[in-house]
């Protein structure tokens, strides 16, 4: 492949990421035209939808990337993948509909009934879009992926910007309708862009049993990591109520930029890590992870200090007064960013061929995450700021497990966590 073709894909990948940033800005702008309760309800809706789709992706569509090396097998893999995808979505939304009133009672929020009834339509609209996105990723159709995401996020962002300019108050049902429209239009465009790849066949050498085996193992890590990032708002809803969810939501939206930065690092180091392990080059693994972790720790620490010292003055420039109370939540979340760099070892250990061990680490962190929510919600319910503390607990416990393993198997030493300092000095000296 020519270098120009690589640059073309890199360019469109960067443009695709910009659509997520655009929607992130729109979700900040939306704070001007809604209130805590409405935003809290939409967050409960949106996070549940994201969790269902994450489960469906891991158990269904991820197999499209794993089992499509043989071109002739793509039709049968497509069939198995979309079947599993639809089944997971149908079962998940069906259970929510079946137990909608019980769920509303458990979380003390009657509007969860409306949310449960709204999810099936959005899930239906998302089936074609997500299948197409995996086709695009598999076929390296980065330009088409950018177009599809631009239609999705651009449509929703455009409507939000228009409503903000017109000063129209948005309820959670308005936000759900906006999401419907974005999903529908993006699905139509995605299908048009990938229509020649919509091929399905029942016969092939790929066995359905192999698809299930792979999806089951892969989904353990994926779902475990997704659960605390999406369903944390339900724990907050249970212990603190919808109003606090509405304050936590903008803080989490801004913090997502930190998480997206980490996702970029994951994608960057995975391929070289796999190569190093293939060559049994542990020294190179050590250099790669120590440099990445050290640089990220110093970067996130500096950002956290800035947020605690002057974050309120900065965020107050674009946050309406009714959401200023969200700033302390963001500051608490930023504390967890200091240990978040250790999570890149998730990628490293998985590349080594030990995803099961990562799943054990995540399971332990999740147990501590749930325990911390119970303790905070039971004994410190009057201190709502602590609703963000379990995020620190989860990332800290995970970081400890990852570091202990990396110290033993990759020779990651404590002083290497400070290597960003000499590396930075040497870089400056080389430029001078």
- Nearest in space to 74 (alpha carbons), one of 203, 217, 187, 192: 203
Do the Cβ atoms of 179 and 48 come closer than 8 Å?
no
Distance CA 103, CA 45 (A): 13
Q: What percent of the chain is predicted at pLDDT more than 90?
A: 56
Residue 2's pLDDT band (boundaries 50, 70, 90)?
A: very low
Cα 34–Cα 39–Cα 41 angle in degrees, nearest 5:
135
Q: What percent of the chain is predicted at pLDDT more than 70?
A: 96
Q: Transcribe 234-286 into DSSP letters.
A: HHHHHHH-HHHHHHHHHHHHHHHHHHHHHHHHHHHHHHHHHHHHHTT-HHHHH
Do the Cβ atoms of 214 and 66 come closer than 8 Å?
yes
CA torsion angle 257 407 274 336 (round to 10): -10
Runs of H (alpha helix) within 71-139: 74-98, 100-106, 112-138
How many separate helices (H) and strands (E) can be counted in the chain? 17, 0
Structure confidence by residue, pLDDT tens digits, 370-427: 999 999 999 998 889 999 999 999 999 999 999 999 999 999 998 888 887 877 777 6
Give the residue, 221 or 198, on which the prediction is more confident: 198
Distance CA 97, CA 399 (A): 37
Residue 353 has a pLDDT of 76
Give the residue, 220 or 311, on which the prediction is more confident: 220
Structure confidence by residue, pLDDT tens digits, 5-58: 455 766 887 788 889 889 989 998 999 999 999 999 999 999 999 999 999 998
Distance CA 349, CA 371 (A): 26
Distance CA 116, CA 95 (A): 9
Residue 391: C-alpha distances to residues 20, 332, 384 (Å): 22, 9, 14
Residue 1's pLDDT band (boundaries 50, 70, 90)?
A: very low
Residue 418 CA neighbour count, 13 Å, CB half? 2
Residue 277's pLDDT band (boundaries 50, 70, 90)?
A: confident
Residue 172 has a pLDDT of 96
Residue 5 has a pLDDT of 47
Distance CA 186, CA 176 (A): 15
Asked if the model's pLDDT at residue 99 lies above 90, the reply is yes
Q: Transcribe 306-358 into DSSP letters.
A: HHHHHHHHHHTTTS-GGGGGGHHHHHHHHHHHTTGGGGHHHHHHHHTT-HHHH
Do the Cβ atoms of 190 and 152 come closer than 8 Å?
no
Residue 359 has a pLDDT of 84
CA torsion angle 214 216 221 223 (round to 10): 130
- Nearest in space to 196 (alpha carbons), one of 126, 123, 139, 245: 139
Structure confidence by residue, pLDDT tens digits, 110-162: 999 999 999 999 999 999 999 999 999 888 888 999 999 999 999 999 999 99
Residue 229: C-alpha distances to residues 101, 252, 366 (Å): 25, 9, 11
Residue 183 has a pLDDT of 96
Residue 249 has a pLDDT of 92
Do the Cβ atoms of 31 and 250 come closer than 8 Å?
yes
Give the residue, 431 or 14, on which the prediction is more confident: 14
Residue 159 has a pLDDT of 97
Structure confidence by residue, pLDDT tens digits, 288-334: 899 889 989 999 999 999 888 876 677 777 778 888 888 899 999 99
Cα Rg of the chain, angstroms: 22
Distance CA 412, CA 24 (A): 35
Q: Rounded mean pLDDT of the chain?
A: 88
Do the Cβ atoms of 372 and 393 come closer than 8 Å?
yes
Q: What is the mean pLDDT of residues 253-280?
A: 79
Structure confidence by residue, pLDDT tens digits, 169-183: 999 999 999 999 999
61-65, 83-87, 110-114: range with lowest mean pLDDT: 61-65
Asked if the model's pLDDT at residue 95 lies above 80, the reply is yes
Question: Which residue is listed with tokens 């979340």?
Answer: 333
Q: What is the mean pLDDT of residues 57-79?
A: 87
Give the residue, 205 or 178, on which the prediction is more confident: 178
Residue 4 has a pLDDT of 46
């Amino acid at each position: 492949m020519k270098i120009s073709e690589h640059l073309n894909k890199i360019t469109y990948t960067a443009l695709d990421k910009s659509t997520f940033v655009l929607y992130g800005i729109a979700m900040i702008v939306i704070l001007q035209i809604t209130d805590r309760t409405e935003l809290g309800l939409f967050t409960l809706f949106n996070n549940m939808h994201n969790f269902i789709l994450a489960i469906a992706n891991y158990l269904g569509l991820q197999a499209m990337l794993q089992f499509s090396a043989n071109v002739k097998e793509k039709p049968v893999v497509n069939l198995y993948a979309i079947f599993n995808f639809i089944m997971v979505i149908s079962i998940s939304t069906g259970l929510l509909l079946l137990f909608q009133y019980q769920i509303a009672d458990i979380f003390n929020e009657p509007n969860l009934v409306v949310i449960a009834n709204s999810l099936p339509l959005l899930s239906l609209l998302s089936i074609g879009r997500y299948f197409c996105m995996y086709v695009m990723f598999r076929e390296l159709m980065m330009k088409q992926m950018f177009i599809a995401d631009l239609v999705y996020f651009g449509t929703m962002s455009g409507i939000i910007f228009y409503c903000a300019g017109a000063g129209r108050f948005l309820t959670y049902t308005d936000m759900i309708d906006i999401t419907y429209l974005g999903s529908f239009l993006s699905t139509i465009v995605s299908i048009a862009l990938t229509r020649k790849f919509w091929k399905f066949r029942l016969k092939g050498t790929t066995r359905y049993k192999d698809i299930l085996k792979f999806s089951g193992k892969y989904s353990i890590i994926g779902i475990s990591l997704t659960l605390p990032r999406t369903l944390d708002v339900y724990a907050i809803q249970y212990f603190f109520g919808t109003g606090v969810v509405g304050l936590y939501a903008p803080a989490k939206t801004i913090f997502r930029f930190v998480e997206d930065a980490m996702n970029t690092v994951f994608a960057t180091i995975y391929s070289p890590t796999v190569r190093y392990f293939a060559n049994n080059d542990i020294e190179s693994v050590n250099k790669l992870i120590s440099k990445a972790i050290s640089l990220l720790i110093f970067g996130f620490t500096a950002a956290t200090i800035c947020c605690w010292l002057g974050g309120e003055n900065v965020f107050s420039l674009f946050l309406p007064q009714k959401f200023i109370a969200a700033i302390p939540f963001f500051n608490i979340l930023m504390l967890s960013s200091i240990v978040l760099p250790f999570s890149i070892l998730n990628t490293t250990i998985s590349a080594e061929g030990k995803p099961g061990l990562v799943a054990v680490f995540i399971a332990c962190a999740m147990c501590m995450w749930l325990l911390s929510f119970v303790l905070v919600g039971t004994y410190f319910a009057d201190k709502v700021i602590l609703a963000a503390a379990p995020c620190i607990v989860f990332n800290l416990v995970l970081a400890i497990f990852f570091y202990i393993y990396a110290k033993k198997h990759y020779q990651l030493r404590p002083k290497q966590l400070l290597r960003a300092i000499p590396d930075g000095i040497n870089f400056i000296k080389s430029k001078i």
